[in-house]
Structure 1
Amino acid sequence: MIKNRLFGTDLINLKQIENIKFVIPSYQRPYVWGDQEVKKLLSDFYKAFQKDKNSNYYIGTILTRENSFEAELIDGQQRFTTMWLIAFVFWTKQSGSEIEKILKTPDGKLKMSFEIRTEVANYLYALIKNKETAEEAIYNTQEHPYLQNIARALTTIQSIIDEEVPEIELKDFGNYINSRVRLIKNTTPKKQDLNKLFSTINSAGVQLEQTDIVKSNLLNHIDEKVLYGKIWESCEDMSNFFERNARISFPKSSWAKIDLSKQINFNKSIFIYEDMDSGNFGNENFTIDDIDVENLEPYKDSGLRDQDEKRDSEVIYCRSIINFGQLLLHTYRIHLKLEDKPDFEGTFHVNRLIEIFSNLKDQAEIKRFIERLWTIRNLFDKYIVKWVSDNNTKIESLELLNINKNSENYYSRTPYEKSAILMLQSVLYFTGDYLRQFWLTPFLYFLYKKNQDKSATDESILKGLEKIDNQLSLCSSMNDKDATYKMLELDLNFELKFEEYLNKSNGTKFKHYWFQKLEYLLWKNWREDNKTEEFNNYRIVSRNSIEHIYPQKNAKIDDDHLHSFGNLVLLSVSQNSEYGAKPVGVKRSMFKEKKNTYDTLKSYFIFQKDGEWDVTSIRVHRDEMIKVIQEHYKRDTNAHHLTEKGGDLIKSFGA
């Protein structure tokens, strides 16, 4: 039984709360986690499990108010709901692991109830009652907005487990999550005003980040603290463009003579943060006691930020694909390579920032690192995709942004036209590790070493990224962290024979990367004279649900063809729910009736021809798509193992 305490704190695992029923109060927002948050949580669990099955993994806090075996979940609903969905997927796979016990209380009731949004509780209960797969569970959620994110999360979880976790490890992995994943459970007094407390939690000030502590630690080892602090500040706001950050941090620079649309390394004679004759304010030993409070003039806003809002960029709002902590780690790896040192040990994770940077104490090296951070942040904004919101629809899309300096010495940011490098970066972003994006280390290093102020869409930039992608996709002997660091010094040998892999009948266990890589190649080589409106509107987006064109239910073909790469496409959850288990002919009609864009380009090649979709059609389509990928790798001179197959298919896309 739960003890009745005032603001109690316990370190718990899921096993310790098997008997507790959680109530989601009315003031809680709906479940809103997307692919990124779900992948981060579950993939981190699995990485920790692989590293040490006997060590604990800590994931944060939940806040409850408790009464016997019932607990009101004040904060932590998103995380706990995701854990429930993970347990459900383990249960559908009959893993036999202990984590399945958190689905219900010992008396058979659903683990969670909701003061409002009863359709959520009904949906979760129906999942258990029908023991549906994630693929089946996504149907019939379109009319219930509170269910759609849950259905998407369920599909994402199943995809991750199918792709990453061997069946033989399922039971042990589920037991690991149940016993070794730890949460801090804070318990409030019974008479606490929960609405007020919840409001306070969600409106509290910004928590001190590890990046702030790393900054402080590094600056403590050097002189010129203010100067290098300003360089750091120019890089850390990832929601703003670098040129605007730099202008704010170094307002006294002669901006008419500086062009940040070019690659400019930091130079303290060029970038100036104060007037040279400003007296004590230039003294590193200046303290608050030196201020003459009586003679201070009233504060006057310089108006610089307002000017920036109006003039500094046509595209004002953007969202980075990584956070500043992740950029620090990519930059530090590049720095270590340039210093002829080995990569940092252990996992690539922002939670380890303080530990990873603890060995960086030499003053001259710290300055070199921070100056390199300046250059790499500039390159990042110029060559890496960002999330940009449409001013009218407010819909976000990944874009590469061109930077231009105007006659008034301000900058404009406008999206490039859709390009191959935008598409390839989209593939890497959506199929890679959301938390790490390992491909950025070798790509930023390539740009740092070889770029000479070329356009982001320049062919040489694309070729550099294609080479990185090809090497990483076929390297099977090292993990991504080791491989991407080794790629900084030499080319990796290709090892994975993807033709053999894609000829298997893996069904939903196929890695999503190969579907998205194929989309990139089909788009890149599409026939110019067949670029329809649907094609022009097409983008590579997040897709996490593998659809069987020939439906699985009551299938009249053998499993080898049913689960073949030739019978599969990768769709979004909502697209998959539209098609469901409908006959192929119905799916073909639905596809052709769509006017905005193609679901996938692979779908186009399946549905463009009328006729029966049978085992022969599946084999032909599979072989054609594999040839498309073969042709791409054959262009890389290192791909010696590839067989001399292929032909003219790559010349006829969109025919």
Structure 2
Amino acid sequence: MSIDSRLFTLEQLVHQDDAAWCFNVPIYQRLYVWGDDQIKTLLTDMANAFDRGEDQFFLGGALLVEKTSEQDRLKGLRRFDLIDGQQRFTTLWMLSTVAIWNQVMGDFSRVVLKDSVVPRLHFSIREQVNTFLASMMPGKSGVSPEIPDTQSMREAQQLMASFKQTYKRADGKPVDDEYLKELASFVYRKVSLVLTQVPEGMDLNKLFEVINNRGIQLQHHEILKARLLRDIPAESRSRYAALWNACADMSGFVERNLCQDTQLEAHRLGDLYSKGQLLHAVAVHGLLSRRAEAAQAESAERLTLENIVNGVDSEFDNGYATIAADEGEAPWARSIIGFPLFLLHVLRIWLKEQGQPDLPRVLDRHLLTLFEAHLLQPAEPAQRTARAQGFIDLLWRMRVLWDEYVIKWVDQGDDEVHQICHTSISANDDKRYINRSRDNDLKQGMSLLQSMLYHSQEITTHYWLTPFL
């Protein structure tokens, strides 16, 4: 499998002969998180290099995997996933959308198709972020709904726009519009990145671990998440991603994770639990769908000051504050296993329900290999969709059972003990909420039995968990 590394300026990226190049941030990557210091440092370093009259400014590298589809080819596009380097790349993209800079670097911000102009940068399944990116395109207002996912980007753009006022040239000359245009030309034509393209079949986790000197490892379960969500239709993908994310954080309780990730009201899940429906993923999907519809309606119809003064409420008000109230507290319960091992036990249950043979072994470092052999085999699109959706729905059901019936390490002051966290419901203003207790007088017998199994079984497998769940 060949690896191709080449040096590119932004101008060279724009003027590729074979097709227009687009870049995608995969779902397992973080959102844009650079802060003021990182952005100021980058802008200042590039400006200093320009002031010194340097012929080239080397910005580092980015790791790519080509994901061009047949539909992309028909449009004259080549699409690449940004496996590493997306923070720098996104910073340059945003810089190309800022006033004055855009006059010189604008071609880097966009791809012109026959019937439309689209951003050169895209984020997988984060449609609100993509709406924000699209609002920066020519002819757009530059105004989009303010959501938490775009907050860092908005702050970055404001900082870039104010660079004219904050940067001080060494020669004391003014930083005026003409200077910014010349600086933008330097960034567009002289700032270079090494783009390394690797084959799609390569072990990205191992490669990322080897080349990334920051020591940030791409987790196998994040790649697995991407593989499964890719087979789920776009209109459903965000819901399934939310369920996966809630299950993946094994340090918290699943209903709190889901509320914090989606801003779903806590009492909605409390209602489901009271009815015995929290286990049923289809009921949770219904809540998430209605929450998404309400969010769209809220962004479409802003409240007036008069509405606010008169206390106009929406269907999905309050509740989120309840779930977030103890967000700052140190966690008092932690899982006895990690998420990769939990995934393998869920896979064993999925295979049992499908009437298929059990895994030959449970080994979390072989997570992707085991899933590829038993769940991700080639199949028709409809079958792959049903398989991915069914597994994530099962994952949710098992995680709800896990939090209610499986021991955790629970902080009891001076000691940390094995304990099942008692689940109950409390009512407030006719709304029901899920409560978790660390009262060690409850379910002692079951806790002791599981603790015996935990200490007597191999810690890297815990085969007893599959039949118990």
TM-score (normalizing by structure 1): 0.31
Larger Rg: 1
Higher normalized contact order (CA 8 Å, seq sep 6+, divided by chain length): 2
Q: Normalised by the size of structure 2, how large is the TM-score?
A: 0.43
